[in-house]
Amino acid sequence: MESLRWVLASQSPRRRALMRLFGKPFEVHPAQIEEHLPEFTARPAALGKRLARAKAEAVAPCYSDALIIAADTLVVIDGWVLGKPADEQKAFEMLRLLSGRTHTVITALCLLLRQNGQTVQVVQDAPRSRVTFRPLSDEWIRWYLATGEPFDKAGAYGIQEYGALLIDKVHGCYFNVVGLPLATLATRLEQLGVWTPDNRYNPQRGATKP
């Protein structure tokens, strides 16, 4: 499937950057869906899979032959789902809730294979990581809010930027917390038969040798 088009159904710059590690050209086609997150769930992995699949299926009709890759990241603590904060007060409350505690991050994946205008295979996964925050003073939280980073991220933080200063430890895949679990995605791509490591690809150059 060398000529198969890859489509990332996400507008996240973090996911775009991580996708480049596979060395395959891909298109970006954000899914235009409204996400209605419940405040509480006993089955966060199932919720994440449903949302990721909805994103993939929203984009799929635009492509006859393609691999659609969609992802959805959930931050959950004690069953409470923390989405993107609506405002500064909500972000403050989320960070206060996470302070000094361990929570779960799930990034659900949906890989949807299209051939001749039909969906022929769907593969899903939802790996978990456990993230422990340092105890945060109000001063620390206000400092982090001032960076502007929390407002477009689930749980009101991003682990790969200023938010790294808030975190004590991570158990599980770091990239799962960033928003794209690379090892899981690589495994699923291989299972679909759409990607394998290729010695023609030079990771340092980021291009295919002639």
Residue ranges and CATH numbers for the domains of the chain are 5-198 (3.90.950.10)
The catalytically annotated residue of 72, 78, 125, 198 is 72
Surface-to-core class of residue 76, CB atoms within 10 Å of its CB (0-12 exposed, 13-18 middle, 19+ buried): buried
Active site residue 168: no
How buried is residue 72: exposed, middle or buried, by Cβ count under 10 Å (0-12/13-18/19+)?
Answer: buried
Those residues with Cβ within 8 angstroms of residue 206's Cβ, 6 or more apart along the chain or in another chain: 20, 23
Residue 85 to residue 161: CA distance in whole angstroms: 18
Residue with tokens 């945060």: 136
pTM score, two decimals?
Answer: 0.91
Give per-residue pLDDT as tens, 44-58.
999 999 999 999 999
Work out the mean pLDDT of the chain and round it to a whole number: 93
Taking only the tens place, the pLDDT of each residue in 117-176 is 999 999 999 999 999 999 999 999 999 999 999 999 999 999 999 999 999 999 999 999
Mean pLDDT computed over 51-76: 97
pLDDT at residue 3 tops 80: no
Q: Is residue 68 over pLDDT 70?
A: yes
> What pLDDT is recorded for position 203?
52
Query: Has residue 74 got a pLDDT over 80?
Result: yes
